[in-house]
Amino acid sequence: MPGTNLTREEAQQRAKLLTVDSYEIDLDLSGAQEGGTYRSVTTVRFDVAGGGTSRSSEAESGGGATSFIDLVAPAVHEVTLNGDALDPAEVFQDSRIALPGLLEGRNILRVVADCEYTNTGEGLHRFVDPVDNQAYLYTQFEVPDARRVFASFEQPDLKATFQFTVKAPEGWTVVSNSPTPEPQDNVWVFEPTPRISSYITALIVGPYHSVHSVYEKDGQSVPLGIYCRPSLAEFLDADAIFEVTRQGFDWFQEKFDFAYPFEKYDQLFVPEFNAGAMENAGAVTIRDQYVFRSKVTDAAYEVRAETILHELAHMWFGDLVTMEWWNDLWLNESFATYTSIACQAAAPGSRWPHSWTTFANSMKTWAYRQDQLPSTHPIMADIRDLDDVLVNFDGITYAKGASVLKQLVAYVGEDEFFRGVQAYFKRHAYGNTRLSDLLGALEETSGRDLKAWSKAWLETAGINILRPEIETDAEGVVTSFGIRQEAPALPAGAKGEPVLRPHRIAVGLYELDEASGKLVRDERIELDVDGELTAVPQLVGRRRPAVVLLNDDDLSYAKVRLDEDSLRTVTEHLGDFEASLPRALCWASAWDMTRDAELATRDYLSLVLSGIGKESDIGVVQSLHRQVKLAIDLYADPAARETLLARWTDATLAHLRAAEAGSDHQLAWARAFAATARTPEQLDLLEGLLDGTQTIEGLAVDTELRWTFVQRLAAVGRYDEAEIAGEYERDRTAAGERHAATARAARPTPEAKAEAWASVVDSDKLPNAVQEAVIGGFVQTDQRELLAPYTARYFEVVKDIWESRSHEMAQQIAIGLYPSVQVSQDTLDRTDAWLASAEPNAALRRLVSESRAGVERALRAQAADAAATE
């Protein structure tokens, strides 16, 4: 029985048999304010090839071919195929409607069903805003959830046109992929879309607030819209969002040499969204946490801008041209990630020309972490079915793929790369492609044979390490310089063999300028590294620099190590690099060494404390805050943990008091201080900042910062239900509800933990965003003893939850409630016993194995820290 899964072989057979022409979808959402179910009527016109039968069903009916269409619905009332009524009780089963007796040539199918609103962020999500008590709807269809709203052939290569007709409550707005029409009697009839895949269709319905503008250039005119709930309208900085959007339109259309391919471009900030955003054609949905209710640092605006540009890039790569099957998902996501960062770095007027620094410090560290898990896989993953792809939106698909694309650009040349992309879009517009189609276009424009490159980089897993090997004479002159490449063994359980790869890298040579005290790049050499050892004769005969930085400018994807002399200089002067990118590369290398148990946690903390005060990039500062806390919580010798936490917390408070009043750094240090405040005096300060009896000049304790303080005070037992409820009265919004849920679950009592556990595990009533908030509060790293009994309970329930809940909800629980803070051999043994006996499916096995690897890594790091001396 297939359940809700679909295999690659089934999809291939269906694609051979069918060519889909059009969908007409009629939805009655007039009862959306009350919830429940809604009527869905789908009419599909499709052609059937002659002489073939879909292997999805061996039998034939009436001599015709057989196939199936996908639908997840509580009830199907009518199925009419080519005018003949089929019995729903016979043909509808396991999220599929069987289609027997298909005619060669044109077929027409009509399906009438009742479909359900969800609160999981999948299908048609329904949310009621506590501010105005109005319902707000939006669809989320990637990967396989259009079938929750209408009957569809749910695979990316069966493109079609889609025409939506929607009946909505009076006064509501309906937005879809096509331009919004004028409603007649609260019925909205949209024009058909171009040929697109089902997973990028969209409907956003409700009394949304909107702001409109137009993108105009060289005779082109594209209507632009921005939407959010009315309760967020006062915080919507539409001008800033339009500015980033226009920069993206300018840059992408020039680089792609292909006009924006849809009739309008709406961006809709929607509630309780599981991801960052979704590239629905012409109707992008974005999580509404990006409408900032309180002061945030510039790093948050940079991340939001990257998200906006990422989704806009998808209009070409993903929507105009779409992968044939999900094994090329990486092409969609990596391309959008690479081009969004490149646009931020190069677009005229961009506020974030340093965006490659952010990429090196955040996206690359995500990729390195993912690539060292037992679930590591080639960038071009083997996606056997929908279960595989659902857990494959990971650091390899996004960040490693984008890193490799960046290297490919350096390898073939930027102009040649974009000429190949231009040819690719023109050749395959509104069609489906494979990797070979893109590589073929790039080979044509660059003249390079990319087959060996593709095999080494896209079809193998794992990460390389680059180390400099330097010899000097007595005067410090370089007599030999080489770059050694290592291919560490893949993690236990990973498939494949380690390989050495070709790298295009830059070597940066840095000297300490005595006048300014800055580390300044004196020379840069760009070269190809291949094999185990690559000689660099250009450096022989020159005086050894203070710092040799491999992979300067972050062209390649590799872990980089510093030689002994360079590490000594960097340890003393990491904050003194003149440019932000080399600083970020050295910070990332130090963090990677800590995770690999090559650098003790106490030494990593010393390194951060010595250099973070000189770090100007606020995004890097905030990453260091997160990494230090994680290192102390999980990687420190438990016997030294409290000492290190005290040292760190004292430093955060000192930096908070010293930071420029009202600055981004002040806000970041306030959050870092609140995360680990522990002494009575420190907790008194948090309480005083909340009630106004204490102040720090320039620090605005606004709504979001208040909740940060409240949650910490709840976690240490200073605040209980009365104080949390009082804070919620100040902020009776959806965000306030989530924050209050986190605070309640964070309280350090058995009763609070039992209540939180029951609300997530024993009940399935929580909406996705609230469930996530409860899990976030439940797991507190300084409550290990209180949480210890839940280790056994996790393994008792996780398989049943996985099999009974929707993917998004089950994944939150499988990852979030795994006993990651119980760093012990016992946790590993319990996990191994469960993996051996429970027979979880491949997706759940992957998630649990990834979490296990985190505990195993933490044990190694703790041993390294215990072995270190002060």
At 366-401, the pLDDT tens digits run 999 999 999 999 999 889 999 999 888 899 999 999
Domain termination residue (choose one: 458, 475, 510): 458
CB 339 within 8 A of CB 313: yes
| Catalytic residue selected from 311, 324, 615, 727 | 311
In a domain, 118, yes or no: yes
In a domain, 339, yes or no: yes
Q: What CATH number is given to the structural domain containing 530?
A: 2.60.40
In a domain, 11, yes or no: yes
- Short-list 281, 278, 312, 69, CA closest to 193: 281
Low-confidence ranges of the chain (pLDDT < 50): 1, 52-61
Q: Are residues 189 and 98 part of one domain? A: yes
* pLDDT score of 748: 98
In a domain, 657, yes or no: no
* pLDDT score of 869: 73
The enclosing H or E element of 286 equals strand 283-287
CB 46 within 8 A of CB 102: no
Peptide bond into 507 cis (omega under 30): no
In a domain, 294, yes or no: no
Q: Are residues 850 and 807 part of one domain? A: yes
**Residue 411: half-sphere exposure toward Cβ, Cα within 13 Å:** 25
H helices of 574-637, where? 580-595, 601-611, 618-630
* pLDDT score of 391: 87
Q: Are residues 55 and 193 part of one domain? A: yes
Q: Are residues 472 and 434 part of one domain? A: no
Q: Are residues 476 and 440 part of one domain? A: no
Domain termination residue (choose one: 410, 442, 458): 458
Question: Terminal CA-to-CA distance of the chain, rounded, Å?
Answer: 60
Q: Are residues 544 and 418 part of one domain? A: no
* pLDDT score of 54: 43
Q: Are residues 382 and 508 part of one domain? A: no
Q: Are residues 375 and 519 part of one domain? A: no
Q: Are residues 554 and 448 part of one domain? A: no
In a domain, 43, yes or no: yes
Domain termination residue (choose one: 559, 588, 606): 559
Q: What CATH number is given to the structural domain containing 154?
A: 2.60.40.1730
C-alpha angle 102/71/167, rounded to 5°? 110
* pLDDT score of 492: 87
* pLDDT score of 288: 98
What's the residue count for the chain?
A: 870
Q: Are residues 27 and 175 part of one domain? A: yes
Q: In whole angstroms, what is the distance from residue 482 CA to residue 539 CA?
A: 9
Q: What CATH number is given to the structural domain containing 351?
A: 1.10.390.10
Q: Are residues 480 and 427 part of one domain? A: no
Q: In whole angstroms, what is the distance from residue 267 CA to residue 518 CA?
A: 43
Say how many domains are in the chain. 4
Coil vs helix vs strand at 551: strand
Q: In whole angstroms, what is the distance from residue 870 CA to residue 363 CA?
A: 32
Domain around 837: 788-870
In a domain, 756, yes or no: no
In a domain, 591, yes or no: no
* pLDDT score of 735: 98
Tens-digit pLDDT profile for residues 696-751? 999 999 999 999 999 999 999 999 999 999 999 999 999 999 999 999 999 999 99
* pLDDT score of 270: 98
Q: Are residues 440 and 470 part of one domain? A: no
Per-position b or e across 132-165, b if 16+ CB within 10 A of its CB: eebbbbbbbbbbbbbbbbbbbbbbbbbbbbbbbb
pTM for the whole structure: 0.96
Catalytic status, residue 737: no
